[in-house]
Structure 1
Amino acid sequence: MRISLMTTCLADVMAPDVARSTVILLERLGHEVVYDPRQTCCGQMHTNTGYYSEAAPVVRHFVDTFERQLDDVDAIVMPSGSCTGCVRDQHRLVAQHEQDEDLEKRAGAVAAKTYELSELLVDVLKTTDVGAYFPHSVTYHPTCHSMRILKVGPRPIKLLRAVEGIEVVNLPESSTCCGFGGTFSVKNSDTSNAMVTDKAANVVRSGAEFVVAGDASCLMNIGGKLARNGDAPRPIHLAQILASTREDPFVPSAEMLGRAS
């Protein structure tokens, strides 16, 4: 398959290894990955905060960029549940708010080909065992958008359980939010801090070496709290685990998501 990668602006700036790992994984599975450098942001930060008019130019640029590829690629992949949720749900809302029927139609066509990474692997590529090797214990945090908007369900867990050498342990109160929510963590910092404090404590309670999720933003938030507390678990994106093999294992570093916070 020919797959277009939308890196997401946060991964591009804060977690480039997530995008690299996505490419490594998909190419190892025999697929061609293409990248359009005109891509910028999906507009999630604006739409989550209710700034639909401000989001409209960002959404139009996103649609313009990826609409050009629709006839040449089989799918668009985003290693982010929250950004994929924005494309599949909120772009339509922005277009409706702007009373732009043409944008709504075009955004719908792009959204129909856009998948979060675990969706792409399980539903489109029909695989759960990607040949990964990760000899560590992990606990999985289902991010809010992936769970409540995309409804990815057990797909990430199925992928994790197929990884050689891994131990997947339960995360207490896994369905609760980590408190990031983009600008929510800035505008409601006390509430956000209370939420991530609980989430980090549950990660520690799990006894896992790593907390894994499909969103770099949530991992950055959780990882930052763990680092400030001096707690041992480290954040890692699903793509990083799935890209790791016996021949080219993932090596944790001090620059992992949130650890420099």
Structure 2
Amino acid sequence: MRALIFIGFILFFMIAPFFIGTSADTFSGAGPFESLSPAHPLGTDYLGRDMLFEVLRAGSVTMFICAAATLLSLASGLTCAVLTSALPTIPGTILARGMDALNSIPSLIIAFVLIAAFGSTTSSLIIIITVVEFTRAYRSLKAPVIQIFAEPFVELSRIRGEGFVYLVTRDIWPNIRPYAAVELVNRFVACLMFLSALSLLGIGIQPPTTDWGTLIKLNATGLLLDSAAPLIPGIFILIASLLALLAASDASRKLEFSKS
């Protein structure tokens, strides 16, 4: 149930712009940083735009980038974990050491270099966050993959002469799915936090396109005027993270149940 709520939360923000429009230049005629009112349930932003609409538009961008980066990082990390276990000793060891070396580089340094090279468009940020996060997914999934490869049924498949594709699709994936489900949710939270951090630093999503982190940055001066505008996007980031962690706890309980 918690997983369905989490998925529904993501889908709601992804489809919201289809109902409210995607333009970020819709002014409400109100003044900047107005307080909550029936006309503006979440108040207005630094330009006098309705904060509710801005949060929904920014949420669509945030959810799309995080969902795409999460899926790509999980797929890449799981692929590398399988390859390091399935390849012969020397190439498998080289790949594992390369992953460890990439994982040791601070995330922000990787982001700074890649953003300087490719910019901070939506597609670039998806790739950049994937590069940062897939090594974390690899590190989390490597031990379960090695454990599954050591199981007798995998060895029997090898003795029968089954190929790599068979081993992955029939032996590895059905047994790694519970671990992948937990890691999927954890990666989403990590991608959300990293994207928000980049936007707060001013190197993430650039106006007029906004995400929740950009909204916090643009409305930061509202704190001096006792406005809730800078806090509202942060509240939605917190809600998304909590829903994800609750979904992860459900997946963890199912994993423990399956082990027992």
- Interval containing the TM-score (normalised by the shorter chain): under 0.3
Task: Give the greater-gyration-radius structure (CA).
Answer: 2
User: What's the TM-score once normalised by structure 2's chain length?
Assistant: 0.22
Instruction: Looking at secondary structure, tell me which structure has more helix per residue.
Output: 2
Structure that is richer in strand per residue: 1
TM-score by length of 1: 0.22
Q: Which has the higher contact order (CA 8 A, sep 6+)?
A: 2
